[in-house]
Every structure is written in C-alpha cells, then in structure tokens.
Amino acid sequence: MRKIIQIASYCFILFTVLSCQDDDNTLEQIQVPQNLEVAIDVTDDGSGNVTFTASADNAVTYRFSFPDGSTAVAPSGVYTKRFTKTGLNTYQVTVLAYGQAGVSSSRLIEVTVESDFSDPDAIQLLTGGSSKTWYWAADVPNHLGVGPNNDDPTQNYFWAFFSFTEPFALADIPAATCAYDDEFIFSTSNGENLTYEYDNKGASFFNRSYASVVGGQSPDDSCYEFDTSGEKAVTLAPSESVVAAERKRGTVMTLGDDGFVGYYIGTNEYEIMSLTENRMLLRAVQGNDQGLAWYVILTSEKPVQGSGPQVEDDDFSNLVWSDEFDTNGAPDPSNWTYDLGNGQVGWGNNELQYYTDRPENVIVEDGFLKITALREAFSGFDFTSARLKSEGLQEFTYGRFEIRAKLPQGVGTWPAIWMLGADYQTNPWPGTGEIDIMEHVGRNQNEVLSTLHFPGNSGANGISEETTVATASAEFHVYTAEWTETQIRFYVDDEVYHIFENNDSTPFNKDFFMILNVAMGGNLGGDVEASFQESAMEVDYVRVYQRD
C-alpha cells in the first residue's frame, strides 16, 4: 500500500515540474488524495449485502473494483454490493480515491460475507408459479448463435462467430428439422424447488462433435433419436462466468441427469443472461471446447412460421411538437437543454468525448441542427461533442417520433437518437427504461440499430434489431418509432424492421424525453481511427405526433 501512495506522490511531483516549465500555476493546485479510509458494514441476514463507505482528503470521487470483474463509481464514497457466492467467503476489493486531473490513491481491503443464494424471481418467471412450457424463439433473428468465451464489449459478442440470423433458419436445414418441435417445461410445487422436463418428440439436434453419443457419424450438426424423458432436478447458483455483472442476470442453472436445452453441446449448465415472462436468453460453454459460448433464445409462446408480429394500425395524425431548426444559432432553449462533461466513466459506457454547449459542437445553421464531434484536447479529454435533451421541456407518453437525419462518418463515432424515462433520477437505469430509435457505429457503416433497454434486458442484453442503410452518412433518412400501450415499432424511411410487444410489465408506459448525441469510442463505438478529425450528425427536423 505504501508503495502505491509513493507512486501517486511521484506523479504529483511530475505534474508540478511540468507546470513550472509551462509557466502554468494551475497544476500546482492538484493534490493526490490522502488518508484513504474504508468502513465496511456487512449484513448478517444471508443476503450478501455489504455497504462500503470510503473517505479521503482531496478526493472528488471513488471507484470500487470487485473480484467478479464489476466496478462501481460513487462520488459520495458510499456503495452497496451484493456478493452472491453461496456460503462464507472472503473477497478482496480495490478502492480508489480520485482527485483532480485523475490523480488517485488506492487501497486493497478484504471482506468476509455469508450469502444464501436464491433467485425466487427466476423460479417464478420460469414456471409461472406452477408449470410453464418454453419453446425455441424461432421467429426472431439470432435465436441460436456462438461466440468466443470472453467478454469483449466492443463486439456484438452473442453472435461474434456464427448465428442463425434469420427467423426459422433451422427449418431450412434438413438435418435440423426436429429442433422446433421441442418443448422445455419448468415446474415448481412450492416456489423453491425447481424441476425440468424436455419433450423432444423423439429426436434432438446434436452438435457434430457429439454425434458419437448417439452412434451417429454425420460430419454436420444433425437430428438424432434420443430419449430425454423424465423429470430432472434443477439447481440455481451464482454466475462465475467471464461476462461482466452488469451484462447478465447473475444466475446459473444446472439441469440434473445431464439435461440439456434443445441443442446438445456436452453441458448441463446454462447461465440465465436475461429473463422475462415471455423471453429467456441462455448462455452455455461447449463441453469439449471451453473457448466457445453458445446462446439460445427461448419464448413462452410457440412461434408459428409466417405469423410473426403484425403492425398495428394506429392513427398518429396530431402533430403535438416539432423543432424544424429554422433559426440560426443555438438550439431553441424552450426545446433543448444539455448534458455537459464526460459523466461517470464516460456516461457508464467508457466513452471518450467531453460534451459541451459550444457552437463548435452544437449549432443550428441553414435549417439543420449540427452536432459535431471533434478531435481536440479539452478538459483532459481527446474529443469533444454535444448531447442535447428535451428533459423537463418536452416529454411524452406514446406517439410517433420522427427524426430526419444524416449521420456522421468515421470509425469510432457513435451517434444516437433515443429516449429515456423521465423518472430516471428516482428510478435509476435500467429501471427507468430506454428506447433507442437509432444507433450507428462507424465501423459498421451501413447498419443502424434500434434497441429497448429495461430490467433483465439492459446493456448488451437489450432487445435489439439492425437494418441496412447503405447511405446513412451520405444522405438524409427518416428514423421513426411508433410507441403505443401494446407495441413499439421502429422504421427507416417508413419501412418497419423491428416490432416490440409492449405490456404493463415494461417501463414503457410513462413519460420519456428525447436525446440527440454523438459519442466517441466507448463500449459500442470501439476504437477511434487515428485519422479521425471531425464529423457531424445533421438533423433536419424532430416531430412528435399523437392520436387525436
């Protein structure tokens, strides 16, 4: 510990020397946080909750790093963590105190905590309180895919190697036609014990490397006759996978008697990545190749080929608000305010830009709003940009949200047109809900995304679809979301490509506000190409229609 403090002190001395050479006395005021103390309050109820309270002289914020790979930033120094590994366990936690200009001191502490792991909500969702049947979510893209067994957030890591990207893709493979007949039944008699039955109608889909289990010899993945009858006990345990805590539910289920879910890959252990009443995303590491992680999406309503979600006929003919950006200068203050700075850890996404309200980054000119990302040194960051929001000024529940825009270009750019629940300060994300009307990343020049984020489906687990827009950065296109009590539909140039079935269980039934921004780098934007200097998102108009 003393060595770490000495290194931090040396960095402070170096800052002072440089300030003398540059004749800039402001750096002489930078002080390394000292006297870092951490108080620990461990609950004794078996919940695994521990409250850390950090304090240090000259500190402006604190960061906690936990052995499961998760981190937390707490400006007040107070943070509560739930440790879920069953039993009495000792963990090492790194606490860092940050001062001005990013200087820091740190401390490694140990905490011993007892946890009686349980996930009653998962049991309820899996079984509906008694028994529930699940099916392959064959009507959605990527219902089966494989990627590397790592946690690289810059990838769409679920499908980094291969996936069945089209609905009902397995039906087009003669050797896989048995898969979509499968039924996966989860049951409970008391809300605590969990059992599993797999009705494969006599045949199951096997990974080719396991064909020998059933005496097969096919060089390809194939269906084979296989007896899966019988009820199997299911145990739940905390996840210890490489996936970061914020990107998963944190629960693993082990199916007794070598049970498996639809596709035989030599394992009976499945991590529940996300789970709602009608959708489940599972992750499983292949038994004979620990470098591969497979993903399967299940649904509680059996899909019927050709009967996917239908667009509801809604009459959004009443224009209730618009900004046509027809007055040069700063954006209209009756419509827009700003988020400034870099937020906590790049707004939670490790972004690289510093948001400003300067005309260099945001201005209305010639009938267009221009949000420009620039490579420039500013307030300790290498890029600047802008993030506008209608919070407190223009907020809506339901409607047609129509934005005509031309997107920036350059690897590392990450523009977005989106909405956030207006109650986010008292109902923190993802509880508040997020509707991403359009996201684009420069390394995937011809693709745009629409995504819903909410509890159980946040971060990389959001409900997302993509579509091709070949001229996204060269021409203007109209990006639209139609939002009702029962559906949220996403369009590009009036062509629907993503339909989300909304209901009372989601947070998408209250006021949301608009956000327009261009981020740089971060979890989705990735590395910024060295040649990037500047690029802008141009917006022709924002219009909101509601029913008469």
Q: Where are the domains of the chain?
A: 2-115, 120-299, 318-546
Q: What is the pLDDT of residue 159?
A: 43
What is the side-by-side strand order in the sheet with 71-74?
Answer: 71-74, 61-65, 87-98, 104-115
Catalytic choice (434, 466, 482, 538): 434
Distance separating the N- and C-terminal Cα atoms of the chain: 66
Q: Which two tokens stand for residue 204?
A: 């199951």
What does DSSP assign to residue 455? T
pLDDT at 53: 97
Could you say which residues of the chain have pLDDT below 70?
1-29, 68-69, 84, 152-166, 246, 306-310
The question of whether 166 is a catalytic residue gets the answer: no
How far apart (Å, rounded) are the C-alpha atoms in residues 148 and 154? Answer: 13
* Residue owning tokens 């750096």: 27
Q: What separation in angstroms does the CA of 230 have from each of 165, 184, 214, 225, 257?
A: 33, 12, 18, 16, 9
The pLDDT value given to residue 44:
85
Paired with 356 in beta bridges are none
Say if residues 94 and 108 touch (Cβ distance below 8 Å). Answer: yes
What is the signed CA dihedral for 417, 462, 243, 280, rounded to 10 degrees? 180
User: Can you give the pLDDT at residue 15?
Assistant: 33
Q: What one-character DSSP code corresponds to residue 246? A: G
Tokens of 506: 């989601």
How many other C-beta atoms lie within 10 A of the C-beta of residue 446? 12
**For position 27, what pLDDT does the model report?**
43
Q: Which of 271, 351, 391, 439 is catalytic?
A: 439
Q: Report phi then psi at 334, rounded to 5.
A: -80, -10
Spatial separation of the C-alpha atoms in residues 66 and 80, rounded to whole Å: 12
| Fold category of 2-115 in CATH | Immunoglobulin-like (2.60.40)
What is the predicted pLDDT for the residue at 29? 65
What pLDDT, on a 0 to 100 scale, did the predictor assign at position 117? 83
CATH 3.30.43.10 fits 318-546, yes or no: no
Asked about 439 being catalytic, the answer comes back as yes
